[in-house]
Every structure is written in structure tokens, then in C-alpha cells.
Amino acid sequence: MKGKVTFVGAGCGDPRLLTLRAAEVLAEADFVLFDADVHPDILGRLPEGTTRLPITPAMTLERISTMLVAEARAERRAVRLAWGDALLFGHGDVEVASVARHGIPVEVVPGIGPFVAVSAFSGTPLTRSTDASPSFAAVSVTRGHESFHDWQKLATATDTLAILCDAASLAETSRSLAFYGRSPSDRVTVIEGVSLPSQRVTETALGDVPLLPTPRTARVILVVGEGAARMPDLAWFEKLSLFGKRILVTRAREQAGAAAALLRERGADPVVMPTIEIHPPSDPAPMIEAAATLGERNGWVVFTSANGVERMVAELRRQGKDARAFGRAKIAAVGPGTAAALDRAGLLADLIAKDHRGEGLADELLAALGAGAGAGDARPRILVARAEVARDVLPDALRAAGYEVDVVSVYKTRSPPRALLDGLAALLEAGEVDAVTFTSSSTVTHLCDALEGRAVELLAKTTVASIGPITTDTARARGLRVDVVAAQSTIPGLVAALEEHFAKNSSKSS
């Protein structure tokens, strides 16, 4: 039998903490049953077409096991994806045993659970080198089952208690601990959203826990005792430059990953809400012809975006060609992002504009053309591969200098589905976005068109960040206030500009 069931711990927060083995399993999965609170980015690792179903309250343990067994018997790779760890504080033991009793091969992949994460991310290590005999008691308390614990034994079982607690049970849990012998003055740290940009850490006394505001997350971690004292030198997570900032990434979904990764590294919560979708050009014939005659016809091929590179390379592959199709043609890129896309395709840019605009690319390309020309040399024909709707600064400048230029549309942009944009409007209306990033004029145009007459009003509620002067001009022409402009028109440059902006605002408010 080729079928198998793998029980995978998805971890309790940051999706980047998924283990290598878990990532391998997900990349090959045919069918996945997942806990509803598994981070959506983890589900994004699944291959296209993989069946994925959330666990609902109506699903019995028998039903879950039956579904997994059926998939394995059909010789499919089934995965049970659990929040936290597959066998810690859940029904994983019953699920695994039930599947195994049917003679199905099983594997269990551990995940980074809340007690490991809370030590790493909150500055609250549950055991310390200064402890003479390090120990802590790990407990799970769920709503409606608080009385199932022997609180008389548990309350004073050890110096440090670490309790994974449903938010609705937090107050009752603290009262039970105090009633059964724990001092109301004992030190307590409450951690919400551990390892996520929304993480919130509250230090208080046990007796004051019921007075705390209602937690914003479904689960919290309650640490009680001497081990609850935070160590400031270990509280690195909340010191990240963009910690807790919810930042909207408006790039097309295919290009949003790099920006989201940079933002996460700095503690931000990236919300990928593409305001554009990339589609084939309205008339693909010129692109098809350009790809067919690329190395024969053109002395230079100019790319003005990473999208242009990816679409041209995709067309070459469709025609059964590779990088050799460029022949002796030289390649120019508008900036490092476009050059990186070329590099991924096995191509090296001969010219990368220092000024990442059409004007800068035109000036530098004309200088390169002039420097490389000899007396009596024929002027090379230039192909500009770009979006269907774009500024004509570059081809106009080249034609004015006497060069023959072919402008070929290799893609076009469209607005995403209405429902997605309605969700974005609701976030902006509620003031739940700290910054909106624009990485091209088209992202500005499509977002403003989608928000219709409310664009200026809604975007006034947040910080507006632009990747460069052309995008900024487009935003201001639509009546938007632009707060941040990247010094370098790249994604790292935009992220750096946001860091500087929020650092200045933080110092002003402190």
C-alpha cells in the first residue's frame, strides 16, 4: 500500500516555525484535514489541487479517522494538520491509534508547541540555569472542563506553572489557583498570540488576572510563579523595528512573497491583499512573434519589471526555448528586482539602471549604446517588453535618438475579485492597517478605482508608503497623501523607509 497518514504539528504561531519534515510532508500531500486555527500561510504550502478540509465541531474523532483511512486506502498521502503539536493537549493519541489499528502506515511529525514558543518569544523562559532543580508543570484548560483538574494538587505542585488556557477560562483558572493555595500576590505573565506580530505580554499578580481586559486571542498562556518573571535581555521579539505593525502588501500575489518575508523578519504582520492580478496581454500575437525571433531581430532586450521577465521567459518555454533564445542580444533591466528575475531565469543583465525609472533607464541605455558603437556600425533594434498599459518615456527617448524600437506587451494587470477588495475596505475603515504599500502606479490605480470615491478618505486613516517617485506622483494625482517614499526603488528600500518612518514616530511619542 502506497497510502499513508501523517500527523503533523503546525506550530502555535509564526508559520515560519514549521519544521523541515513538516514542510516536506505538506509539499507532497494529496489530502489534508486541518485545525481551523492553523496559520493560513502554512496551508499555502500545499500543492495546487490538494484537497483541504477544516476540522469542524460536528466532526467526531471516528469521522476524522474514517476519512484519513479512506484516503490512505485509495493510495493517497493524507495529512492530519494540528495546531501546535500533534500529540500535545489534543486528541492526537486517539486519532493516531485509530488509524494505525486499520493497518495504515502512520508517521507523527512534532510541531513547536506553545511552551517552547513562549520561552523563545516572550522573554519568559520556563526553566533557568539559576534553578537548583529546574521544573515546571504544563497544563491545558478548556472552557467547560475547568473542574476536571485536581486544583488542590495542581496549584502548589511546583514553583512554576505554565497553563495553555482558553481565553474564556482565564479568569476562572486564576481564581481556582488562588482558592486552592496559590498566593494571590504570586507573579504572573499572560501571553497572547505567542510568536505572532500580535503578541501581547502582560505582567501582573495572580489575584489581578480576572481584572484584565478580555484577551484578543482564543488561547493564552498563563505562567505562574518565579518562572513568570520576564528577562528583558531575552525579550528580543518585541524590539524588532516593525513589531506589531499590520502592513498591507498590494503587489500581485505572485510577487508578494518577498515583501511579506522581509516584513515578517522585522516583526510586522504582512497582509497580502493584491490590488492587481497579472494576466496575458489582450493580444498575445506580438509577444509570441517577439519570442520566436528574439535573438535574430534584436540587439537589445529591455525589461521594465520582473513581471515582464517572467512572462517572456514563460512564452519562450512554451515555444520549447530557453535562455539561448536571446542569442547575442544584450539585456537591460530597470532595477535590481528585475535583474533578480532575470537571474532566476539563468540570464545576466548587461545593464541595470541606477535610477529605477523609465527616464533613468533611457539615459543609461543611450549612454551604453553610444559607448559601444563604432564608426559605421548599424544601430541595434531594441525590444521593450513591458505591461500593456505603461508610460512611454523609455521608447520615446530611444526613438528620438534614432533607434528602431519594438514595444511588446507581455502582460496586463486587472483588479482582483470584488469580495477581496470589500474585505480591504473593511480593514481600512476599522483602522486595522498601520501602513499601505504601493509598489507601482498600477497598484495605486487599481486600488483607488476599486475603493471608488472612498479611496482618499480610507487611506487617510493609515500610513501610505510608495516605492518611488513615479508611484508617488500617481498616488498624489489621485488625491492621496504619501507619507513614506523609498530612497531606493526596491522592496528592501521600501521596507527600510517604513522602518525609519515608524522609528521617528516612536521617538516623537516617547
| CATH, residue 146 | 3.30.950.10
Q: Is 151 a residue whose pLDDT tops 70?
A: yes
User: Do residues 20 and 79 both lie within one domain?
Assistant: yes
Find out whether 485 and 469 touch, Cβ atoms under 8 Å. Answer: yes
Of 63-72, 329-338, 351-360, minimum mean pLDDT range: 351-360
User: Do residues 197 and 129 both lie within one domain?
Assistant: yes
Task: Find which of 76-85, 250-259, 359-368, 500-509 is predicted with most confidence, using mean pLDDT.
Answer: 76-85
Nearest to 112 by CA among 138, 84, 137, 71: 84
Q: Is 354 a residue whose pLDDT tops 90?
A: no
What average pLDDT score do residues 242-264 get?
86
Find out whether 385 and 301 touch, Cβ atoms under 8 Å. Answer: yes
Distance, CA of 190 to CA of 184 (rounded, Å): 15
Distance, CA of 436 to CA of 270 (rounded, Å): 10
Domain range enclosing 86 = 4-111
Q: What is the pLDDT of residues 113-150, one digit of tens each?
A: 999 999 999 999 998 888 777 888 888 888 777 777 88
User: Do residues 336 and 316 both lie within one domain?
Assistant: yes
Q: Is 444 a residue whose pLDDT tops 60?
A: yes
For the chain, give the percent of residues with pLDDT over 70.
Answer: 95
Run of H or E residues at 485: strand 484-485
**Count of residues making up the chain:** 510
CATH number of domain containing 328:
3.40.50.10090
Q: Is 83 a residue whose pLDDT tops 90?
A: yes
The per-residue pLDDT of the chain, averaged, comes to 90
Please provide the distance, in angstroms rounded to a whole number, between the alpha carbons at the two ends of the chain.
64
User: Do residues 354 and 373 both lie within one domain?
Assistant: yes
Find out whether 176 and 153 touch, Cβ atoms under 8 Å. Answer: no
What is the band of 340 on the pLDDT scale with cuts at 50, 70, 90? Answer: confident
**405 bridge partner residues:** 382
User: Do residues 219 and 173 both lie within one domain?
Assistant: yes
Q: In the listed set 111, 136, 164, which residue is the last one of a domain according to the structure?
A: 111
Q: Is 107 a residue whose pLDDT tops 80?
A: yes
Q: Are strands 463-466 and 435-438 parallel, antiparallel or unpaired?
A: parallel
**DSSP for 327-341?**
TT-EEEESSHHHHHH
User: Do residues 141 and 70 both lie within one domain?
Assistant: no
| Predicted pLDDT of residue 273 | 78
CATH number of domain containing 56:
3.40.1010.10
* Contacts within 8 Å (CB) and 24+ apart, 311-320: 311/278, 311/280, 311/287, 311/385, 311/410, 311/411, 312/287, 312/385, 312/410, 313/345, 315/287, 315/288, 315/291, 315/410, 316/291, 319/288, 319/291, 319/292
- Whole-structure pTM value: 0.75
Cα–Cα separations (whole angstroms), residue 113 to 13, 61, 408, 409: 9, 22, 52, 49
For residues 167 and 453, the model is more confident at 167
Distance, CA of 361 to CA of 390 (rounded, Å): 14
The three cell numbers of residue 461 are 486613516
User: Do residues 283 and 399 both lie within one domain?
Assistant: yes
What average pLDDT score do residues 320-329 get?
91
The three cell numbers of residue 44 are 499555502
Name the one residue in this structure whose C-alpha cell is 485509495: 74
Angle between helices 285-292 and 306-318 (to 10 degrees): 70
Q: In the listed set 384, 412, 440, which residue is the last one of a domain according to the structure?
A: 412
User: Do residues 449 and 426 both lie within one domain?
Assistant: yes
Domain count, the chain: 4
| Predicted pLDDT of residue 508 | 66
Q: Is 499 a residue whose pLDDT tops 60?
A: yes
Of 77-86, 287-296, 368-377, minimum mean pLDDT range: 368-377
| Predicted pLDDT of residue 405 | 92
How far is C-alpha 162 from the chain's CA centre? 30
The three cell numbers of residue 230 are 520576564
User: Do residues 256 and 353 both lie within one domain?
Assistant: no
Q: In the listed set 214, 239, 264, which residue is the last one of a domain according to the structure?
A: 239
User: Do residues 95 and 182 both lie within one domain?
Assistant: no
3-state helix/strand/coil string of 140-178: EECCCCHHHCCHHHHCCCCCCEEEEEEHHHHHHHHHHHH
Distance, CA of 155 to CA of 176 (rounded, Å): 8
Find out whether 193 and 216 touch, Cβ atoms under 8 Å. Answer: yes
Cα–Cα separations (whole angstroms), residue 93 to 85, 156, 192, 193, 194: 11, 28, 27, 26, 25
| Predicted pLDDT of residue 147 | 76
Distance, CA of 40 to CA of 268 (rounded, Å): 16
Find out whether 342 and 362 touch, Cβ atoms under 8 Å. Answer: no
**162 bridge partner residues:** 138, 223
Q: Is 294 a residue whose pLDDT tops 50?
A: yes
Q: Is 50 a residue whose pLDDT tops 90?
A: yes
Q: Is 424 a residue whose pLDDT tops 70?
A: yes
What average pLDDT score do residues 494-510 get?
85
Find out whether 415 and 275 touch, Cβ atoms under 8 Å. Answer: yes
For residues 89 and 109, the model is more confident at 109
Find out whether 9 and 112 touch, Cβ atoms under 8 Å. Answer: yes
